[in-house]
Amino acid sequence: MTACDVLAGFRSGTLSPVDYLSACLDRIATVNPKINALAAMDVARARAQAQSATARWQAGQPKGPLDGLPIGVKDLQDTKGLLTTHGSIAARGNVPDRDLPMVARLRAAGAIVLAKTNVPELGAGGNSRNPVWGATGNPFDPNLIAGGSSGGSAAALAAELLPLCTGSDTGGSLRIPAALCGIVGYRPSVDVIAHPTRPLGWSGISVLGPMARTMDDLILMLGICQGYDPDDPLSVAGAPDRFAALPDIRLRDLRIGYSPDFGSAAIAPEIRQTFLERIDLIRPHVRDCRPADLALGDMDRCFDILRAESFLSAFAEALDRTPAAYGPHIAANVALGRSMTLADRAWAHAEQTRILRRFNALMQRFDVILLPTAPVSPFPWTQSHAQVIDGQEMDIYYRWLALAYRGSLAGGPAITLPCGRDPGGMPFGMQILGAARGDQALLASARAFERLFAQSPTTARPRPDLAAIAPSRIDLRSIVTHPPHLDGQGPRDAPRVKTAV
> Would the pLDDT of 482 be above 80?
no
Is pLDDT of 296 > 60? Answer: yes
Check residue 471 and give its pLDDT.
Answer: 80
Name the residue among 279, 256, 449, 260 with its Cα closest to residue 365. 256
pLDDT digits (tens, 9 = 90+) for 86-139: 999 999 999 999 999 999 999 999 999 999 999 999 999 999 999 999 999 999
Whole-angstrom CA distances from 307 to 300, 330, 354, 400, 436 are: 10, 11, 18, 15, 20
Q: Output the pLDDT for position 277.
A: 98
Given this model, what pLDDT does residue 469 score? 86
pLDDT of residue 174: 97
CA distance 118 to 128: 6
Q: What is the mean pLDDT of residues 182-209?
A: 96
CA 450, distance to chain mean position in Å, is 18
Instruction: Say if pTM beats, i.e. exceeds, 0.85.
Output: yes
User: Confidence class of residue 304 from pLDDT cuts 50, 70 and 90?
Assistant: very high
Residue 384: pLDDT over 90: yes
Length of the chain: 501
Confidence at residue 493, expressed as pLDDT on a 0 to 100 scale: 31
When pLDDT is averaged across residues 8-12 and rounded to a whole number, the result is 98
Residue pair 65/467 in contact (Cβ under 8 Å)? The answer is no
Task: Please state, for a pLDDT cut of 70, what percent of the chain lies above it.
Answer: 95
Q: Which domains does the chain have, with CATH numbers?
A: 3-454 (3.90.1300.10)
Instruction: Return the pLDDT at 480.
Output: 52
Average pLDDT over residues 17-23: 98
| 168-180 residue pLDDT tens | 999 999 999 999 9
Q: What is the mean pLDDT of the chain?
A: 94
